[in-house]
Structure 1
């Protein structure tokens, strides 16, 4: 690490938002150390995408950390609970994984401290999202203070900066930012419940929000959705 090119630890799920967040970190001149969590989610496609994104963005280091949250359950992503396909509602959905971002950010802070990094990037979004409480700005601000209080780095006056560059963007804004950064949307994966043929289901909350974002932005999402013809991608949300 040099003063001109400091390290940033990026929480990289393999989804669109985390990909854009990582690319913004790179654009800002950070050396990327990426952290992905293998938490027992319903499929490994997102983790495969995380590995590909880390490679494409030139991450100096990429750690895929096993953490089996299936032992806790309580979510459609880690338990034998059907993924809802009826549309995005107002309540916190069953795809919420208990305290996921709280746990993940704690691990990211530990990785950052061990790497000598003081900057953490996370792709949370508080506008077009599924109502998860751990995506809210007040949570991110609170965690930054917790990390300062609970680490050797913080105690020695080296607080962490939590970057959430997509915090106040719509999904359409994020789709446009992805295009501006020269990213291929096909590198990322957002679907909670892939179809048997390996395509995105198109109907879970994550698919609906993503598809609407690309459609509102007037852009084509190159991820294949189940039942779509090649010229119909991004429609039908």
Structure 2
């Protein structure tokens, strides 16, 4: 049985990565995080997606990243920008993907799974350092050194099927696989119903992706 742990935020990219893992024949175990983000709409979306796509199991782990702040997504005193920024934006969450992958690695070792899927993207993204291939490769080295399975000769692989795709290509691929993007929430400032602001960086990238793909955008905007 080919098992995988799939990081599922409830957004467009992670839903597509889950669909790709399933298409490759993996028995998918979805992992989401309540990390003190500004809204819970994406967690509600993750639960819907996990149920719709028939994962083997879906866990939500609580991490209090809001207790250290440092990001517009975890500190409500920092506004989410409504315009493009240069450099690494204030929506970067310190060490987020490092922590997420660490939990995924722990669950994978328990499940005797050797593959972890994460929907990071290095083309149409916001400039986050933990979305780059260099980071993923470094984490795979860590996985081999830090786990019982790793030191006993098992190799963990962090699968990044979206990393070189444009947002339009991601949307096209997910549409071919039957992903219902109306269920996903990408907005940094979504309301309780999951309605998007339409002006944050994530909303701009998502909208431009649908336009470039020439596919109708199902996003509900405020």
1:73-92 to 2 correspondence within 5 Å? 73-79=69-75, 80-87=77-84, 89-92=85-88
> Please, which runs of 5 or more residues in structure 2 have no aligned partner?
none
Deviation at residue 8 of structure 1 after TM alignment: 0.3
Deviation at residue 196 of structure 1 after TM alignment: 7.8
Query: Which residue of structure 2 aligns with residue 72 of structure 1?
Result: 68
- TM-score by structure 2 length? 0.97
Q: What is the alpha-carbon distance in structure 2 between the residues aligned to residue 19 and residue 129 of structure 1?
A: 16
Q: Is the 8 A contact 2:41 2:192 kept in 1?
A: no
1:10-89 to 2 correspondence within 5 Å? 10-79=6-75, 80-87=77-84, 89=85
- CA RMSD between the two structures: 1.1
Deviation at residue 194 of structure 1 after TM alignment: 2.0
What is the number of residues matched between the two proteins? 221
Query: Which residue of structure 2 aligns with residue 135 of structure 1?
Result: 131
Which residue of 145, 151, 162 maps to 2:147?
Answer: 151
Q: Residue by residue, what CA displacement relative to the aligned partner does 1:156-192 show, whole Å, maximum 9, x if unpaired?
A: 1111011000000000101111111111111111000
Q: What is the alpha-carbon distance in structure 2 between the residues aligned to residue 129 and residue 173 of structure 1?
A: 13
1:106 aligns with 2:140: no
Query: Which residue of structure 2 aligns with residue 186 of structure 1?
Result: 182
Q: 1:57 to 1:29 in 2, by over 3 A?
A: same
Give runs of ≥4 in structure 1 deviating > 4 Å: 195-198
Query: Which residue of structure 1 aligns with residue 173 of structure 2?
Result: 177
SS of residue paired to 1:33: strand
Q: Is the 8 A contact 2:41 2:191 kept in 1?
A: no
Q: What is the alpha-carbon distance in structure 1 between the residues aligned to residue 116 and residue 191 of structure 2?
A: 33
SS of residue paired to 1:92: coil
Q: What is the alpha-carbon distance in structure 1 between the residues aligned to residue 25 and residue 39 of structure 2?
A: 33
Q: What is the alpha-carbon distance in structure 1 between the residues aligned to residue 44 and residue 191 of structure 2?
A: 17
